Amino acid sequence: MPQGEITLLLTKWKNGEVDAFEQLVPLVYSGLRQIASSYIRRERDPGVMQATSLVHELYLRLLNQKKADWGDRAHFYTFSAKVMRMILIDHARGSQAQRRGGKAEHIP
């Protein structure tokens, strides 16, 4: 796969071509899964989430991205990695909240 193809699709997506995102996903999926696997391995409890689930959650967040403004593939991968990290942090916060009673009503 030529590196320029990803950048071209990112530019098309930035310019509002919805089909560009659908064409982009298969090209970047394996790279995103590698990043996700790397993050999962570094977690305290690696069994909490699988790399595939993390990439799929990222996909949903990217799909809802209102302003996709990536200059090149490196910028896209960096942004995606940061979003994955935020997903893991949100997931950990949710788990911790459940341990502390979640949404149960607190009585003084």
pLDDT, tens only, 1-50: 556 899 999 999 888 888 988 999 999 999 999 999 998 888 776 667 88
Side chain identity at residue 49, one-letter code: M
Using the structure block, give the residue that is written with the tokens 């799929």: 56
For the chain, state the CA radius of gyration: 17
CB atoms within 10 A of CB 8: 15
Q: What percent of the chain has pLDDT over 90?
A: 44
Q: How far apart are CA 76 and CA 56, in angstroms?
A: 16
Q: How far apart are CA 94 and CA 9, in angstroms?
A: 35
Q: How far apart are CA 13 and CA 53, in angstroms?
A: 24
Write down the pTM of the prediction.
Answer: 0.78
